[in-house]
Each structure stands twice: as C-alpha cells, then as structure tokens.
Amino acid sequence: MTRTLTAATVTAALLGSVALADEVRVYNWSDYIDEALLEKFEQETGIELIYDVFDSNEVLETKMLAGGSGYDVVVPSGTFLQRQIQAGAFQQLDMAQLPNSGNLWDVIQDRTAQYDPDNAYSINYMWGTTGIGVNVPKVQEILGEDAPIGSLDLIFNPDNMAKLAECGVYFLDAPSEMIPAALAYLGEDPNSHDSDTIAKTEAVLGGVREHVAKFNSSEYINALANGDICVAFGWSGDILQARDRAWEADNGVEIAYNAPSEGALMWFDQMAIPVDAPNPEGAHVFLNFIMDAQNMADASNYVYYANGNAASKPLLEEDVISDPAIYPDEETLKNLYTTTPYDARVQRQVTRLWTKIKSGT
C-alpha cells in the first residue's frame, strides 16, 4: 500500500499537473500587492506560492463558472462574488482555520454581507471607490483654473471632453462601472435595473464617446503617470499609484484623484476559495496570512487602497490613513453608493449598450 502511494506521489510529481500539497495558487488583480509580501508568505509558511493576475472580473468569472481553474484563492468584486456564490463556485470558509479573522473591520463586514450573507464565503481584501484621475496642471491649462476636476461634468460634458481630447482621456472598459456613473450624472439611481432608465445613459456616454482615446481597465496607470493622457476614469488606488509613479519619475506630472461629487461607486474585492480548489488548507493559510494586521497594513501602504482590517489601521502610514481619497471622511462616505448584480436580461442590455457606445454598432 505504501509503495503504491509512493509511486502515485512520484508520478504526480513527475506529471506536475496535479497540485502538490505545499503549493498555493492565487489569482488576484494586477498591480494589487506588494511583491515582498509574497516572498514573506513563502518564507514563513514554507508553502510555494504561484501568483497570477487578471484585469477584469469577467475573465475571472468565466474561469470560475467553467470550473477546474486550478486556483486556490481568487479575488472577485462584490457583485460578481454574489452571482458566483449562487452558481456554487465557492466553498464556505472554515473559520477555525482563520484565527486572524478577528482582525476584520465590522463596518466593512456589514457592507460586504449584502453580497456574501454572513460573510460565509469570503473575506475583504481591499475596497475603494471609482472616480476621476486628472493630471492637474494639464487639465487646468486646458479648462482654466476652475476646471471641475471633482465632478462628473468633467468627463460627461461634451464641451469639456472636446477640449480634453487633445491631451487624452481613458475610460474603464467595464460597463458595470461606467453605467452607474452615467446614471449618477443624470441624477438617477446609480443602481437602477430598469431598462428605460439604463437606456438614458446611451445619450450621455455616446455624447462623449468620440473624445475617449481608449476604453481599458489597466493601462491608465502608466498612461497617467507618463503624461500620455491627462484624465482617466478609474479605480482610486490605481490612480494614486499613478500619482506615486509620477512622483518617483519626477517628470513634472502631477496626478490627483477625486471621488465625483455626484456620487461614487464603492466596491469591495473579496478573497474566496473555489469549490474545486486543489489545496483548500493552503488557501486558508494564505487568507490567514493576509488577515494579519501587519501584512494587511503593508499591502495597503503599497497599493493605496483601503482594507477591511480594523487591526491594521494603527499600522498604516500617515499618507494612507489620513488621505480622504483612500479612507473617505464621513462626508464623502455618505456620497458613496453600492450596486447589485444585473439579471441576465438587463446584463445583456448593458453589454449591448456598451458595445454600441464603443463601436457605434
């Protein structure tokens, strides 16, 4: 019996296709962790970490729904998580294996419970807002000193956009982010699932379409930092990372992030374990490692996103914890909205609308 087992293990090792017990595969968003933490994890636990990245929830979701992704930990956003839980893509967390879960922040836990009831399947990794990143001197040069850099008027008013087109504007290629923003601009409920209401956004987005250089969800970090573009509608931490890269490069580019005054989407990226994860024990070890107060603080200090870990707050650097773009103050917090997943029919309408806006067909 022992010999058979040994033979099986050797075969498995030789084939390499079967995950070994001391290996954890993590699939996370691009530009979303301090690489030093990955090395620390391997040193502390002796588990080999394989870390892959993606830049769209859709890609992750398709892997989850197809099954057999081979990943042990994945990081969908709240609305996507909710639907994937319904589809049976994740396994319940074993809290006994997660002693650090006491570090989690109840305020964020309450909010994520709307996607993952009782937070049974996921822990919060980071959260943030979707808003406007601008190259301040460039935009002020074009639109004047009183340019509305904190308002959706900057990106949805065709007059402003026609002028900004000369220095470059990128939008997220994510209808689940852009359509709520256009609804907020119109003064409608950003979380509307009503066909007629959603259809109104076509005029807003279509009206500025010709002035948008590119729809992309990851390239704007570098483009903003290099000065290739002067406005991006994107995720808070990404824009703050662009700000930092421009500082480091000292290239005269000065980036600022603002959550739009009309309301900003608040989103949550949740770590979860796929139902068919090859190494669920290792996945729990990774989640527990991430929930350590110091590790989580290091992660936030590096990527400029707020986290859902109350114990990490005293360990955060001053420019993170006291930056309202990262940890919003009470006033901004009131202005944030959340969204819920569309059903199949509305989702089709939204995707179709988005294709029409992008391609004109």
The contact set with other proteins (CB under 8 A) reads 56, 58-59, 61-62, 64-67, 83, 86-89, 173, 175, 212-215, 226, 228, 275, 344, 347-348, 351-352, 354-356, 358-361
Look at the block and give the residue holding tokens 């859902």.
Answer: 308
Q: For strand 306-307 and strand 122-135, is the pairing parallel, antiparallel, or unpaired?
A: antiparallel
* Minimum separation from the CB atom of position 84 to other proteins (A): 8
* Complex with other proteins: residue 76 or 308, whichever CB lies closer: 76
* Minimum separation from the CB atom of position 221 to other proteins (A): 15
Q: How long a stretch of residues is the chain?
A: 361
> How many Å is the Cα radius of gyration of the chain?
21
* Complex with other proteins: residue 56 or 301, whichever CB lies closer: 56
* Complex with other proteins: residue 56 or 109, whichever CB lies closer: 56
The rounded Cα 86 to chain-centroid distance in angstroms is 21
* Complex with other proteins: residue 154 or 223, whichever CB lies closer: 223
* Complex with other proteins: residue 177 or 262, whichever CB lies closer: 177
* Minimum separation from the CB atom of position 81 to other proteins (A): 13
* Complex with other proteins: residue 87 or 203, whichever CB lies closer: 87
Using an 8 Å Cβ cutoff, are 182 and 201 in contact?
yes
* Minimum separation from the CB atom of position 173 to other proteins (A): 8
Q: How far apart are CA 349 and CA 355, in angstroms?
A: 10
* Minimum separation from the CB atom of position 348 to other proteins (A): 5
- Which amino acid belongs to residue 16? G
Query: Taking the chain, what is the end-to-end CA distance rounded to the nearest angstrom?
Result: 64
Q: How far apart are CA 241 and CA 221, in angstroms?
A: 7
* Minimum separation from the CB atom of position 234 to other proteins (A): 16
DSSP calls for 197-250: HHHTHHHHHHHHGGG--EE-SSTHHHHHHHTS-SEEEEEHHHHHHHHHHHHHHT
